[in-house]
């Protein structure tokens, strides 16, 4: 499809995450002339259960090692959610907003997240991988939440992954608030209508915001439309390439 690189979604790797399979992917990417530019991972630290938070720190450290082995320079990470929504569909219907567990507060949640990434930033530095905290529901739903964690951790090894489809209110101000620290941009497209919702994103405006912030990194296509991916993904690539090359 003439992409310039590949972002790997760890959860889709399955059994292919073992060492031999990783290195086969690295070799295949070399032969295809496509750099592996990002690893997207899932973790959650919004829990009063210390053992659960510790397990997620260990899981994320393993993901950092995975990225290191593949030569991937940046890794998407999350805050996690309270898990009080009945389902992901319910979470989306409520614009990603959910109440804390009974007896707990978001303030406590932020403390747990900040503590976890304080430890993980040191693990990321050992491997030379910049983590990008995404505006991805939970306490990272807004730019203010993402930036609060980044500022508290205060490490160059924790920056932002900007997802254009996860800012549902005042989206362009949200993009501007995240753009300065962005190490990867995930650009949502919705050909055929969105699965959970459809955002009307002005990518000319997004490109201007990123240019003003000095962003020169990759734009990763994240197709969430109902159209067949065989046509929806090439349309997405063509549209984004035209917009961002014009702003280069």
Tens-digit pLDDT profile for residues 47-91 = 999 999 999 999 999 999 999 999 999 999 999 999 999 888 888
Q: Is the pLDDT of residue 99 over 70?
A: yes
Handedness of CA 41, 46, 52, 55 (dihedral sign): positive
Q: Say yes or no to pLDDT of 195 above 70.
A: yes
Q: Is residue 211 part of a domain?
A: yes
- What the block records as the tokens of 195 is 């699965």
In a domain, 218, yes or no: yes
CA–CA dist 38, 147 (Å, integer): 21
Q: Are 120 and 130 contacting, i.e. CB atoms less than 8 angstroms apart?
A: no
Q: What percent of the chain has pLDDT over 70?
A: 98
**Could you give the angle at the alpha carbon of 141 between the alpha carbons of 108 and 236, nearest 5°?**
155
Does 1 map to a domain?
Answer: no
CATH number at residue 59: 3.20.20.150
β-strand pairing of 182-189 with 74-77: unpaired
pLDDT in the model for residue 11 = 85
32 in any annotated domain: yes
Cα–Cα distance measured from residue 208 to residue 199, given in angstroms and rounded to the nearest whole number = 18
* Domain-embedded: residue 118: yes
87: in domain? yes
- Cα angle 138, 133, 239 (rounded to 5 degrees) comes to 100
Task: Let me know if residue 37 belongs to a domain.
Answer: yes
Q: 143-152, pLDDT tens digit by residue?
A: 999 999 999 9
pLDDT of residue 15: 61
When divided into structural domains, the chain yields a total of 1
How many C-beta atoms surround the C-beta of residue 52 within 10 A?
Answer: 15
Residue 144 lies in a domain: yes
Domain extent at residue 223: 6-246
């Amino acid at each position: 499809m003439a992409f310039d690189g590949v972002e790997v979604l760890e959860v889709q790797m399955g059994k292919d995450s073992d060492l031999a399979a990783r290195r086969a992917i690295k070799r295949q990417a070399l032969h295809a002339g496509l750099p592996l530019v990002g690893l997207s991972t899932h973790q959650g630290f919004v829990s009063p259960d210390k053992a659960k938070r510790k397990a997620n720190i260990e899981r994320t450290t393993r993901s950092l090692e995975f990225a290191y082995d593949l030569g991937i320079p940046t890794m998407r990470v999350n805050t996690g959610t309270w898990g009080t929504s009945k389902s992901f569909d319910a979470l989306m219907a409520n614009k990603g907003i959910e109440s804390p567990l009974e007896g707990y507060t978001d303030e406590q949640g932020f403390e747990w997240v900040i503590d976890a990434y304080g430890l993980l930033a040191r693990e990321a530095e050992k491997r030379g991988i910049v983590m990008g905290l995404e505006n991805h529901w939970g306490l990272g739903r807004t730019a203010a939440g993402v930036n609060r964690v980044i500022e508290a951790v205060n490490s160059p090894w924790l920056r932002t992954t900007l997802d254009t489809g996860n800012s549902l209110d005042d989206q362009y101000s949200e993009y501007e608030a995240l753009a300065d620290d962005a190490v990867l941009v995930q650009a949502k497209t919705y050909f055929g209508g969105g699965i959970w919702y459809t955002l009307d994103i002005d990518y000319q405006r997004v490109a201007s915001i990123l240019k003003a912030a000095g962003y020169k990194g990759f734009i990763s296509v994240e197709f969430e439309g109902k159209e067949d991916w065989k046509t929806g993904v090439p349309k997405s690539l063509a549209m984004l390439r035209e917009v961002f090359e014009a702003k280069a």
